[in-house]
Each structure stands twice: as C-alpha cells, then as structure tokens.
Structure 1
Amino acid sequence: MLPSSLVSLLWLLQLAWAFVPLTPSYINNKKKFSVWSKQKPPKGYKETAGLISKKIQKDAAVSTNDGSFTLSTGISFIFSDADEYAYYVNAGIGSSDFPLLIDTGSAYLWVYDSECNDDSCSDKPLYSASSSGSSSSSKTFDLSYNTGTASGIIVQDDVTIANVEAESFSFGAASVVPDLFQDYPFSGILGLSAGNESSSNLINIVDYLYKNGTIDAAKFALCMSNYVVDDSLQAYGNNSGLLILGSDQPDLYIDPIYSTDILTDSSNHWEVKIDKIFVDDYQLQFQALKIPDYGSSNISRIGLLDSGTTSIILSSKDAITLHSCFANSESDGTQYAIYCNTTSVVSLDIAGHNWTITSDQYLGTAYSEDSGLSGYCVSNFQGLDSTTDGSWILGNIFLKSYYVEFDYANAKVGFAERADNVVVTKGSQDSLAITSSGAESSAGSSAFSSTACTSYFNSSSSTLTSSSANASSTSSNSTSSTSDSKASAAPLLPSFFLLSIMLASYLI
C-alpha cells in the first residue's frame, strides 16, 4: 500500500494536470457557435448603450488628498512587462536585486538559482546561495505547473522589499524552472496567498515581517496602475503601481474601504463572496452554487482574487450566461467574441458596494476583416472549469482599477475606489538613493527603478552567475521535500499564468 503522503502527492499532480492552458484569444472557427443558440438573453433584459442606471456608476465622492503622496518605508513601486501581463516588485536578496512576480495565488517566495540552466533562467538575474553567504536546510521544494516543474533547495537569506528587511527568511532557490516563465521579466515569485501551510518554514513574507515586529500590521495592499511621479522620481515614470506592506495609506484611495471576510474552505486563496452580478442594470441569475458560509445561491458567486492572472475566468456555464447579455456574441466554449462597440458595464456587488468592469477593460484584440468576425473583439471574460468550487478568478483587469487590501490578521479583503489625482513624490533622502547605473534605488534594498531592472534583460553580461549554489550546511542523509502543485487559467495573449491557483501539499 502506498504511503498516504505519496497518495496525496499523486492525487495532487493529477489535479494540476487536469487544468488546461487558457489564453483570451480568437475563437476556434471549427467549434464556433452563437451564444444565443445555447442560452437566450435573460427575460426582460434589453441591450443598452452605456450606463443606464445610477447603480452602475462610480461614486461621485472625490479624494480629499491634496494630490501628492510621499514614498516611505514599506511602500514600493511595482512594474510590469510591456503588455501588462506580469506585475513584479524589485526585491533585495542577499547582496543582489531581483524582480519577483507578485502572485496572490502562490504560497511562498522562490527565485531562480545560479545552478539553473533552463531557458527561463537565461539573461536574468540569478541567485547564488554560495556567494551570498546564505544558509540552507536539508530540504528541497518541488512545484508542479502544467508546463513543467520548478524545483530546488530551500535556503535562508536576508530579503528586502520596499526598504523593509526580513532577516534570515526561508525561500526556495530553483535550479529547475519551467519554460512557462521564459519570456517574462522576473527572476522568481513573491507568493502572497491567504494561508501558510508549509512544514518547511516556507511562509509568506508579510506574515513573517509582522511576527518579527518589522511591520505594524499583517496586511498588504496593491494599487496596480501607473502613478504620475514628480521630477525627483522620473526614473520611475513607467511604474505600474504601488505595493504597500503593513500599513494603511488613505491618500491612495477614496474613503471608505469596503471589507469582506475571506470564505472558509477557500484552500488558502483570497476568496470572497460576490453578492450580485449585473450587466448594466440587469441582475444575472445562474445555476445554483454552494457558497461557503452562506449556502446555495443562484445570484451569488465566489470571487478568487489573483494578481498572477490577467483576465477574468468564469465557469463554462457562467460564461455562457454572462455573454448571453451581449448581442450576437460567439464562442467555441472557452473563448468568446463580442462586438467591439459594446458599451455595457459588468458590475460586481462585493462588501456592500458596486465594483464596475467597463468595456475598455473586458474588450481584447479586434478580429481582422477577413476572419469572418469583423467588428468583433476578443472577450476578456473566459469560460473554463478551472476551479473545483466554481469560483470566478478575478485577475488584474479587475484588481488594477482599485485599492485592494489583503488582511491576514482579520482574514478579510478590503476594496476602495482608487484616488486618481495622486502624484508620487520622493520623500526623505534616506529612503531612496542613486545606484551606480544612475537609476534610483532604496539604499541597500529592493526598490530600484524599472530602468535598472530592464537592463538585466537587454545584456547578457548583466546576468548574475555563480559557479555553485550548494548549501553551506547541506545534509546528504536527510532530505525533506516540499511539493506544491499549482495550475490555473492563463492571461491575455501570450500563454502565461497557470500560476494563479496553487493547490499545495507539503511532504515532511
């Protein structure tokens, strides 16, 4: 009989490979059908030309901020690739800097190790355990993605993010990295999922910083859209937002923050209840779904907040229902095509407030004139049964519009309308310094500009390498493996984020 731990691992791997890569893209013409052939528009629903109800309009409230926001300890710029598929923060690990993907669906931090010879590690900053003076345990980690595996050793080193240092922090150093990550400008994953389950001391860095008294609260916030900067921060002008660790920053949002509890049985994901869903002023009804803590509902859904996913992923049946509200929409069962001149607004009621998704967010690439679907655009709402609980994966096209706070201590997520009149200023000279390359960086820490980060990918000579990443205290007789399996729906056009939903199993 197989050991229970091995059975658990085999079951987990099977789950991981059950997920299929999904990219919002053109529908398969061989499988094309009219959505209305599957489901007629809801009775009483009329297509409208824009906002027809006060319900779906954003609050008229304005920010009380005077227009400026000063950077301080615990706040870092975040950046993205040119297509805004991947959002990352610059982290100081040991004596070097690394761009890390911000992923609220991953449980812990791991980086590309200097022992990695895979294509994904080429021309990128690589972590060298031996040269950094870090220590390692006898444990290893192994993460299964549906295009390959990330694996390596578990090490301890000082990690600095937003000028906040986590001393002797445990994380993974991967000598094997799947091709999934090859085309993206980061050197590892900053996991910020809702729970900690690792038996190998691999916990999220926010919880670690709070327990060590380094930050005031066990929470973080994401503002995932560009901020205007003043003249002192021009090197950061192409930022993609801010990461806030351990504090509330009311100048960045329009008060109040609307908070809601994380659902129980959420498998360590940031899952919340979506009370109601509207297209324009029409409230949608779906097939009944069990909502943890609330029972069965045909109007409410589960929302899984994932910064590692770009689009919004619905169950197959829910996607049909939603797209039935868009005139003459087409599908192949997974991808959807809707009119490019659509102006309808999709809105989600969460925590007693209405959060909108407008056409400039959910309309993707236009179809060509000779495609047979001229006048149509790719829908960034996708249909895939990628979660066992039927949740909607709310990726960055939703998150980037708001100030979103993730609260570990109170097991809550808070949402607020973003203050758009903010200009970010430099603050004290102690918090930022000039690097030798001329790009601005937090002194001895991670908040260096995207200019410095980009240089890693334009010149192979910039890549950090080492002859060895062997641990200073490795035991060949005792090895503990941490095995995680993670898969999810991918984002907009290049296939990427099957990063988003981590299903974790840790073997002792």
Structure 2
Amino acid sequence: MMKLVLVLLVGWTWTSSALVRVPLRRVPTIRSQLRANGLLEDFLKDHRPDMFNRRYAQCFPPGTPSLRLGRSSEKIYNFVDAQYYGDITLGTPEQNFSVIFDTGSSDLWVPSTYCVSQACGTLHRRYRAFESTSFRHDGRMFGIHYGSGHLLGVMARETLKIGSLTAWNQEFGESVYEPGAAFVMARFDGVLGMAYPSLAEILGNPVFDNMMMQKAVDEPIFSFYLSRKTSSSNTQGELLLGGKDEALYNGPINWLPVTAKGYWQIKMDSVAVQGATTLCSRGCQAIVDTGTSLIAGPTVDIISLHQLIGATPTNIGEFLIDCVRLSNLPHVTFVLGGTEYTLTPEQYVRKEMFGTKEFCFSGFQAMDFVSAEGPLWILGDVFLTEFYSIFDRGQDRVGFATAKHPTEL
C-alpha cells in the first residue's frame, strides 16, 4: 500500500489564531464493564489479553477481489481499556460523534449507517452519507484486523469539525462491520488518530496534518490533560489543539526528540523500582500513547516489576495487589531525557469496586512489541494522567510536565 508522508518544515509561519479546547470525558473502562456484567472471563478465554493491543490494517484499492490482507503492519490500540473520549462532527448539516483521540494511530473512522454489527446498534451514532451535502465518495475499502476481531468499511471525504476548528475534505473510514464485544460496550463511536502520516492506513492526510496544511491551528502543537479517576464527576480531561496551557502543569517542560516518525516514539533512559532495581538499564524506546490505558513493557521486565510490587497473576490475565499493602509498595520511576518521572502506588494501581468489595489491579501490562530500534514500552494513560503531555509536530518532539489536578488548580 502506498503511504503518503507529509514533510513539515520547522520554518513554517502560522498566521491563524485558533486555539481550541476539547473536553475529554473519562468513563469506566470497558474491561471493568465486562467484569461487572460477568462477561470478562468468558471474553478473555477466547481472546488473550495481549491480543487486544495488536492491530493489523490495510487499505484496498478499487476492484480488490478479496478482503484478505496481502500484508500487514502491526499497531497498538487498546480497545478494551479505552477511557477518554471527546466530540467531533462530520458533514453538512453536522452529525455528532464521540471518538478516542489516539496518539497511537493515524486514521479517523466512525460507524456507517450501513453497519450490520451489533456494535453499531442503538448505543452508537452512525454516519449518514445521504444526509450530508459535503459528502464525497471515495470508493476504496479498508480493513483493520484486531486480535479480538476485525473492522471493515469504505472510505469517504467529509467536512470535519472539532470545536471551532474545521478540516475540509477530510479522508475517513465508514465502518460497516465491527464484530466483538469490546465494540458493543464501548462508550465511543470511533477513533481519531493523531500519530504521524506514515502510520496511516487510510490514504491521505490524518486530521491534524490537514489542519496544519489548511492553517487552522495557531501552532503545529496539541497537548493532553487527562483527569484522574478519583476526581469529581465535573472534572474533565482536555485536548488542546494549537498549543499548550500553562495553567494545567507545574514546572518546566522536558522536551524529548521523536526517534521514529510513526508513533510518537521517544528514547527512555531507564525504569527504576524504589530507586534500586533497574529495568531498561541500557536505554530503550517508548511510545507515548493516549489510546492505551495501562503502561506496557516487554514481558521479562513486566514480570520482574510485578514480582517487586507483589502483584499476583489471575487466570484471566489481570494482576491483583493486596489493597491493604498499597502504602508499603515501592515507587516506580521512569527516566526520560535525564528527568525522573515517579509514580506512587496510588498512581499505578487501579482500584475498582465490585459490590461492597474493593479490588486493586496493577497498572502495568506485559506486551512484546519490537521495532527496528528494539523492544518498545508504551506510556499509556496510567502515566499520562500524572504528566501533562505536549506533541510538537513543528519540531518533532514530545514534552512532559507535572500535571496539576483539582486540588492544585
């Protein structure tokens, strides 16, 4: 499949003044909803936990006789634990959709009105091409294969709005087949990818690239503030398009260069447990991914980490921790660009209530994902909740600063 890569020059001049805030709502994880309804164990019997994060995708040109993939590229997206979503509109007049703003992928897709799967039922909104005067037919088909199923659809072009920003003639996918329980229980309708164009499976420019080309944003930057689960229901996360918000973080920004322009991939110096035991001791690569709920790493390292924090494996892929022991558990520190980012047990352990009983689950997950630069770690929402993240396409870098939460704002 041909890839379209857009090269951005650092010296571009930005003449617009658009800076748009997109509220991000946090909801119970799909995994916890499955568990609460007694469905998780049966679901995981057929779909190993590590497979939820594997995606294979391919675009098909007109006239393709079969939807069988000729080749595949492996990507990361955790549908089972997706938590943060916001709103967009497509079409004229506008049709509303909730999407995951995902820095671990580059494509935009929403369900089509012609979707035949249970996942496209009454809980999810579907795009109605025949009602939009700005709809443009594309003709190509696309397919995305997940460990728990696959997604098929057709491609189109449409007017996209995020807040007051508009991307004209935006390529996107209309899904017509979404098997799997994870899609059925998802609170979001689709996904809006925010990684580099080389990661895109739908030919054309990703959404943020289109906005930069059309000079819809003030700067070639977007940033994320993710709310904590323990915050009040009125506290929302935020995606800021076109800049960063100094009111949402403390201290200086630590900038790290992107090492491979596909994912937002950076170099990680090391991972330390209680400042002593060191993982990734010679440095390793990491992906900054808003679409993955947990922190993932190579199996050998995550097994060692779980042993150090006293996590016990279950028969459905979860790692349990004794809630009474939280105050005695070690801190886990990620060193990025010489700066330490420390997570306390209260920050890397997820608490969930089932009836009157509280359970504590590890926020770390084993996943063997290898790139040309070696094994990759994934810094997902467990990490990004604590640290404000800034994604700079102008200078190809990612910035981190300590996030301010409600008691600090």
Give the TM-score, by structure 1 length. Answer: 0.59
1:463-478 matches, within 5 Å, as: none
SS at match of 2:375: coil
Q: In the TM superposition, what is the alpha-carbon distance from 1:352 to its structure 2 partner?
A: 2.7
Which of residues 56, 66, 85 in structure 2 aligns to 1:88? 85
Q: Which runs of 5+ in 2 are unaligned?
A: 3-17, 30-80
Which of residues 15, 23, 36 in structure 2 aligns to 1:77? 23
Distance in 1 (alpha carbons) for counterparts of 2:184 and 2:104: 20
Find the counterpart in structure 1 of residue 147 from structure 2.
146
Find the counterpart in structure 1 of residue 12 from structure 2.
none
Which of residues 238, 249, 252 in structure 1 aligns to 2:248? 252
Contact 1:206–1:246 (CA under 8 A) maintained in structure 2:
no
Say if 1:422 and 1:204 are closer, same or farther in 2 by CA, change over 3 A. farther
Distance in 2 (alpha carbons) for counterparts of 1:363 and 1:199: 34
Contact 2:349–2:361 (CA under 8 A) maintained in structure 1:
yes
Distance in 1 (alpha carbons) for counterparts of 2:82 and 2:234: 15
Contact 2:269–2:335 (CA under 8 A) maintained in structure 1:
yes
Say if 1:237 and 1:384 are closer, same or farther in 2 by CA, change over 3 A. closer
Q: In the TM superposition, what is the alpha-carbon distance from 1:159 to its structure 2 partner?
A: 0.7
SS at match of 1:149: strand
Find the counterpart in structure 2 of residue 271 from structure 1.
265
SS at match of 2:227: coil
Amino acid in structure 2 at the alignment position of 1:113: S
Amino acid in structure 1 at the alignment position of 2:366: G
SS at match of 2:197: coil
Find the counterpart in structure 1 of residue 257 from structure 2.
261
Find the counterpart in structure 1 of residue 117 from structure 2.
118
1:414 and 2:395 are equivalent in the alignment: no
SS at match of 1:321: helix
Q: Which runs of 5+ in 1 are unaligned?
A: 7-71, 230-235, 287-297, 369-373, 425-508
- Which protein is bigger by CA-based radius of gyration? 1
Query: Percent of aligned positions with the same letter in both sequences?
Result: 25
Contact 1:262–1:412 (CA under 8 A) maintained in structure 2:
yes
Find the counterpart in structure 2 of residue 397 from structure 1.
382
Contact 2:113–2:128 (CA under 8 A) maintained in structure 1:
yes
Higher strand proportion (structure 1 or 2): 2
Q: Give deviations 1:59-112, integer Å, cap 9, x for gaps.
A: xxxxxxxxxxxxx84111111323484211100111111101121111111111
Which of residues 335, 346, 353 in structure 1 aligns to 2:339? 353
Distance in 2 (alpha carbons) for counterparts of 1:227 and 1:184: 18
Say if 1:396 and 1:172 are closer, same or farther in 2 by CA, change over 3 A. same
Q: Give deviations 1:404-428, integer Å, cap 9, x for gaps.
A: 011122111100111335899xxxx
Q: In the TM superposition, what is the alpha-carbon distance from 1:237 to its structure 2 partner?
A: 5.6
Q: In the TM superposition, what is the alpha-carbon distance from 1:335 to its structure 2 partner?
A: 4.6
1:411-490 matches, within 5 Å, as: 411-420=396-405
Say if 1:366 and 1:88 are closer, same or farther in 2 by CA, change over 3 A. closer
Which of residues 373, 379, 384 in structure 1 aligns to 2:362? 379
Say if 1:227 and 1:379 are closer, same or farther in 2 by CA, change over 3 A. closer
Amino acid in structure 1 at the alignment position of 2:246: P
Contact 2:26–2:227 (CA under 8 A) maintained in structure 1:
no
Distance in 2 (alpha carbons) for counterparts of 1:352 and 1:114: 50
Distance in 1 (alpha carbons) for counterparts of 2:230 and 2:167: 29
Say if 1:273 and 1:283 are closer, same or farther in 2 by CA, change over 3 A. farther
Find the counterpart in structure 1 of residue 216 from structure 2.
214
Contact 1:258–1:352 (CA under 8 A) maintained in structure 2:
no
Distance in 2 (alpha carbons) for counterparts of 1:345 and 1:158: 47
Say if 1:116 and 1:238 are closer, same or farther in 2 by CA, change over 3 A. farther
Q: In the TM superposition, what is the alpha-carbon distance from 1:197 to its structure 2 partner?
A: 5.2
Amino acid in structure 2 at the alignment position of 1:171: F
Give the TM-score, by structure 2 length. Answer: 0.72
RMSD over aligned CA atoms reads 3.2
Which of residues 221, 239, 242 in structure 1 aligns to 2:238? 242
Q: In the TM superposition, what is the alpha-carbon distance from 1:338 to its structure 2 partner?
A: 3.8
Amino acid in structure 2 at the alignment position of 1:269: Y
Distance in 2 (alpha carbons) for counterparts of 1:421 and 1:281: 28
Q: In the TM superposition, what is the alpha-carbon distance from 1:285 to its structure 2 partner?
A: 4.2
RCO greater where, 1 or 2, for CA within 8 Å and sep 6 or more?
A: 1
Find the counterpart in structure 2 of residue 447 from structure 1.
none
Distance in 2 (alpha carbons) for counterparts of 1:381 and 1:312: 5
Which of residues 363, 373, 381 in structure 1 aligns to 2:349? 363
SS at match of 1:125: coil
Say if 1:175 and 1:423 are closer, same or farther in 2 by CA, change over 3 A. farther
Amino acid in structure 1 at the alignment position of 2:21: I
Distance in 2 (alpha carbons) for counterparts of 1:214 and 1:112: 26
Distance in 2 (alpha carbons) for counterparts of 1:299 and 1:335: 29
Q: In the TM superposition, what is the alpha-carbon distance from 1:245 to its structure 2 partner?
A: 0.6
Distance in 2 (alpha carbons) for counterparts of 1:308 and 1:197: 14
Amino acid in structure 2 at the alignment position of 1:118: S
